[in-house]
Structure 1
Amino acid sequence: MTVLIAFATVEGQTAKIARFIGDIVKEAGFNTRLINTDEMHDHVSLDDVAKVILLAPVHERRHPESFEAYVASNRDALMKRKSLVLSVGLKAAFASGREEARDYLKEMLMRTGMEPNATALIAGAVRPESYGYFEREILKHVVLLGRKIDPRDGAREFTDWDELTSIVIDFLGGNGRANQHQSQAIS
């Protein structure tokens, strides 16, 4: 059985998460196909795919255009398979930001028409070395407002790797934990 992992990335954290998921999928005994929607040039056949994991980061309140275009243009084929959508973002790292992170995910699903079997919010990372002055100031004074995190301290991951492992294993095995995350993410 093949699991398709389709992702987009902006700063690299979502690509890291996608590769991590690929390792989990292989360890669980599945074949895996990993595609970056930013680098797609041809149609990807889903004929041998039984399950799909879609993941993308949120930047400036949206998931990348290439990701949304891939999901929308392949929606019918994707929805014929068991699917998990992971929305990666910094807002998901903090209780006070989770509602907003859920809204970003809901909006993306509405725009693409995708109705996955399960969804989850995954905390991303801060990579200030790739930001300009303006982005660092927005991060510090808007996104991280009131938090004792200084972007000048360098990269910082907020991804909970153990939680992510549990979500993926549960999705692959079908025992329902990922669906619990769906109700948290899309209530």
Structure 2
Amino acid sequence: MASFLVAYGTGEGQTAKVADRIVATLGDRGHDATAVNITAGAEDVDATEYDAVLVGASVRVGKHQGAVVDFVTDEREALSARPTAFFQVSLASASDRGVEQAAEYVESFCSETGWNPDRIAQFGGALRFSEYGFLTRLAMKLIAKRRLPGVDTTRDSEFTDWHAAADFADDVAAFVEGRHGIDAPNVDASEGR
């Protein structure tokens, strides 16, 4: 069994949902996984206490959460000494038209922090029209119509591929198991998905 830290930042909760799915998948494989919301002020998180670290961030107005950037920058030495992964949640990843832009966000994050994770994944985010204030709802409807044609802007929409999130966690777990000489568990890959 390996210990995993899943440190993430979230703006509207979708990255937290992805982190929870990753933690559940790692747990299904027999590992000890802990999710920590870095944007909620978890300054006392110490990456050296874990065998592997996954970092997640959402993109809003082209930027990742400052708290996540700071965490990775501050913990870069600890991150470079263990297996790591980065997952990004954005609307850009919700459509084929935005894949290149989403990749640019990841490249920018890695460049800004000086971190080179072992694994990277990009997941579509969500539109929570029911939770937005008037101006945000109006702006997000305009963005959705331009970037995600056909999306019903009268209701909330989720674009995360949950199978891909679980597959990503399985891939990271297998990588860590290989690095630490841990026998792969006998888990049905289709369980719970």
What TM-score, normalized to structure 1? Answer: 0.87
Deviations 1:25-81 (Å, cap 9, x if unpaired)? 111111112111112344323334111111011000001111111111111111211
State how far apart, in whole Å, the 2-side matches of 1:160 and 1:5 are.
18
Cα deviation for residue 93 of structure 1 reads 0.9
Unaligned runs of 5+ residues in structure 2 are 177-193
Q: CA RMSD in A?
A: 1.6
Moved over 4 A (4+): none
> Higher Cα Rg: structure 1 or 2?
2
State how far apart, in whole Å, the 2-side matches of 1:32 and 1:166 are.
16
Unaligned runs of 5+ residues in structure 1 are 176-187
Partner of 2:131: 130
State how far apart, in whole Å, the 2-side matches of 1:10 and 1:129 are.
15
Partner of 1:115: 116
> Would the aligned equivalents of 1:136 and 1:151 in 2 still touch at CA under 8 Å?
no
Q: 1:41 to 1:173 in 2, by over 3 A?
A: closer
Deviations 1:134-155 (Å, cap 9, x if unpaired)? 2223222234316011322x21
Aligned-residue sequence identity (percent) comes to: 28
Number of aligned positions between the proteins: 174
One-letter amino acid of the counterpart of residue 69, structure 1: D
Deviations 1:88-145 (Å, cap 9, x if unpaired)? 0011010001111111111111111111111111111111122223222322223431
State how far apart, in whole Å, the 2-side matches of 1:73 and 1:13 are.
25
Partner of 1:158: 159
> Would the aligned equivalents of 1:38 and 1:67 in 2 still touch at CA under 8 Å?
yes
One-letter amino acid of the counterpart of residue 96, structure 2: A
One-letter amino acid of the counterpart of residue 91, structure 1: A
